[in-house]
Amino acid sequence: MAFIEAQSLSKTYTRHNAPKSGGISRLWRREIQQIQALTDASFSIERGELVGLIGPNGAGKSTTVKLLTGILTPTGGECRVNGRTPWENRREHVRHLGAVFGQRTQLWWDVPIRDSFLLLRDIYDIDHAVWQKRLDALVEALELGEFLNAPLRQLSLGQRMRAELCGSLLHAPELLFLDEPTIGLDAVSKLKLRAFLKEENRRNGTTILLTTHDMEDMLALCSRVMVLGRGRLLYDGALDALLRQYDTVHTLRVVFEEAPEIAALPAHVTRDGDAYVLTYEPAKMPTSELLPQVLSAGRVREMTLKEQNVDELIARMYKEMAL
């Protein structure tokens, strides 16, 4: 059996809305609306996988995560995480989970982060020697040494996220949930956080489920993605295969030593300063066929191949899937 096994998971919320009209009586009358947040989602995840969960707002991502953590009970379907049913064995289940949510904190705001880590040691009942060894390794990997005695409120956003990640991993969880872990971080902090997560996954076999709108995070960390839309699982497979499906137009930017023979350039050509910009569809003309023709048009000084922006690809995917 897979580490995570979900079969036909569904979740319906009941929302009580005030009527749009009805005078004073609308204050105590409510209209009942059924919201189908997740419908018949089936998937399996092996131990040690690093899987991305993507989709527009309202797609069902948060509902899926809450079901896997045991916060919610499904309306229908089944789910097992390492043999446990999350919502039935929640107390035992959460001992094996870690979570980092970009907009929330699990550490105490006004106390030194070392004290927060001590409290987490007691909460998870971790052996002192085991806790100290794990803390030392995480502090070194996340470069937290000089901040251990500072309260969380005095740390920068990047430092806080690293501290949050340390707190989530102190008890060596077998499953880690990450929700927008790099939101608001600068480029350097993002790179460091991504490198740490890849190493944690490789070294300790931690299964990681990542939800994010930052496709650079997804590209850097995940080889597999699940795409949700309107409560349904629309795609589950390799990220590069998904991108190839929607990456239909490439751009080749070429600077020639002298004016080229335009007729020899077999693509739509525009000028950008001293560069010629060729736009083409790889499905109709593979790059391997285009390049020799570009080289025959004149002496090339420099050449840059640019694929479409990942966010643009995902936006097109959502549009074609009517999300």
pLDDT of residue 129: 96
Question: Could you give the 3-state DSSP secondary structure of residue 225?
Answer: strand
Distance CA 146, CA 167 (A): 16
Which range (34-38, 295-299, 316-320) has the least confidence?
316-320
- Rounded to the nearest 10°, the torsion over CA 193, 199, 205, 211 is 30
Count of C-beta atoms within a 10 Å radius of residue 119: 14
Confidence band for 23, pLDDT divided at 50, 70 and 90: low
Q: How far is CA 285 from the centre of its chain?
A: 33
In the predicted structure, residue 104 carries a pLDDT above the cut 80? no
Distance CA 93, CA 91 (A): 6
- Per-residue pLDDT reduced to its tens digit, 237-267: 998 888 778 777 888 999 999 988 888 787 7
Confidence band for 115, pLDDT divided at 50, 70 and 90: very high
pLDDT more than 70, % of the chain = 92
Confidence band for 20, pLDDT divided at 50, 70 and 90: low
- Rounded to the nearest 10°, the torsion over CA 138, 144, 146, 148 is -80
How much is the pTM? 0.80
Instruction: Report how far apart, in Å, the C-alpha atoms of 125 and of each of 84, 120, 154, 164, 221 are.
Output: 20, 8, 28, 19, 31
Classify residue 108 by burial, with Cβ atoms within 10 Å: 0-12, 13-18, 19+: middle
- The whole domain housing 254 covers 248-307
What is the b/e burial string over 33-68, where b = at least 16 CB atoms within 10 angstroms of the residue's CB?
A: eeeebbbebebebeeebbbbbbbbeebbbbbbbbbb
Distance CA 227, CA 24 (A): 44
Domain total of the chain:
1
Q: Which residues 6+ apart lie within 8 Å of 238 measured at CB?
A: 223, 224, 225
Distance CA 116, CA 197 (A): 21
| Of 94, 47, 40, nearest in space to 66 by CA | 94
Residue 91 lies in a domain: no
pLDDT, mean of residues 103-128: 91
